[in-house]
Amino acid sequence: MILDRNENKDVVVLLGAGAMGTAILRRVAAGKRILLGDISEKALERVSHDFQYSGYDVQTYIVDACDPASLKAFAEKAASLGPVKVFVMTAGASPSQAKPEHIIALDLIGTAYAIDAFGAVMAPGGAGLVVASQTGYMPSALTKEDEQALAMTPAAELAKLPCLDGSKTASSGAAYIVAKRANQLRVQAAAATTWGERRARINTLSPGIIVTPLAYDEFNAPGNTYQGMIDASPARRTGTIDEIAAAGVFLLGPDAGFITGTDLLIDGGVIASMRAGKFALGRR
């Protein structure tokens, strides 16, 4: 049985086959060709099966988001399938899942390479979305000079920056904050340069506590930081992947055609509570 006889389809790409990214794709990928990328073959099999049995046209690609060559090949594969109109980046590791060095390598440097790789293949009118985190708004040891360097330094030279020598990223929590702030900064720079030159848009979305398997890892981590943030927030609850998907669809769609290089914070008011002095972050 042939489910779709259309040949010339736009391409929608997801890097990181997690719950938030797949929820976004379900809302934007109907009638398009999906390329799923992840380092886990099992995750790709599971997610692609769900998409295929829901009527989507989907292909998979094993990609190491810490490897620039792998990311470049992934982007080239996407371009070979048709005009790349949507790119969503969710690959990353949380503080309870990885050591500081891996968080910097994947969440910060890997994301910078991914932004560059897809900035070279996006079709005019395309849109990208990097899922960052509310932690990008949390206090860190970064100076204005550090932030400028994180925004503008070529990806191949990021690891050499003094602010990434371990002095400001000694713990997994500190590394995660720096990485997610860097995501926001890299997207701002890309929107004004490489992506803008291709007439493509790119933004970040910074979720707060959203119920996913990753969130449960954090709930079970020492210190119960998540519970403190929930209790101090105006919303007094966690968020859902459907709420993130709705925001992602907006940023990727035509109604956001005048929005690029910005971040949308979706955290139930956690950062507002921190700034009002109702919650203080415990460092891990």
The model's pLDDT over 76-129, given as tens digits with 9 standing for 90+, comes to 999 999 999 999 999 998 888 899 999 999 999 999 999 999 999 999 999 999
Burial class (CB in 10 A: 0-12, 13-18, 19+), 165: exposed
- Please state the rounded mean pLDDT for residues 232-253: 95
The model's pLDDT over 171-221, given as tens digits with 9 standing for 90+, comes to 999 999 999 999 999 999 999 999 999 999 999 999 999 988 766 766 666
Tell me: pLDDT of 229 over 90: no
Tell me: pLDDT of 224 over 80: no
Q: Give the orientation angle of helix 41-52 with respect to helix 19-28, to 10 degrees.
A: 30
- The CB-side HSE value for 203 (13 A sphere, CA atoms) comes to 20
Q: Which of 56, 137, 176, 226 is catalytic?
A: 176
pLDDT at 284: 47
CATH value of 11-212+240-269 in 3.40.50.10860, 3.50.30.30, 3.40.50.720, 3.40.50.300: 3.40.50.720
Asked about 176 being catalytic, the answer comes back as yes
Q: Are 251 and 129 in contact (CB under 8 A)?
A: yes
Residue type, 248: G
| DSSP one-letter code for 121 | T
Please state the domain extents for the chain: 11-212+240-269
List CB contacts of 280: < 8 A, sequence separation 6 or more: 274
Tell me: pLDDT of 164 over 60: yes
Which CA distances in Å does 85 have to 11, 70, 125? 6, 20, 7
Of the candidates 60, 153, 83, 62, which has an alpha carbon nearest to the alpha carbon of residue 112? 153
Instruction: Give me the helices (H) in the chain, please.
Output: 19-28, 41-52, 68-81, 100-103, 111-119, 144-152, 172-192, 194-197, 213-219, 225-232, 241-252, 270-275
pLDDT at 260: 98
Q: Which of 9, 180, 216, 278 is catalytic?
A: 180
Tell me: pLDDT of 223 over 50: yes
At residue 196's C-alpha, the angle toward residues 195 and 199, to 5°, is 95
Q: How many CB atoms lie under 10 A from the CB of residue 1?
A: 2
Quickly state the pLDDT bin for 1 (edges 50, 70, 90): low
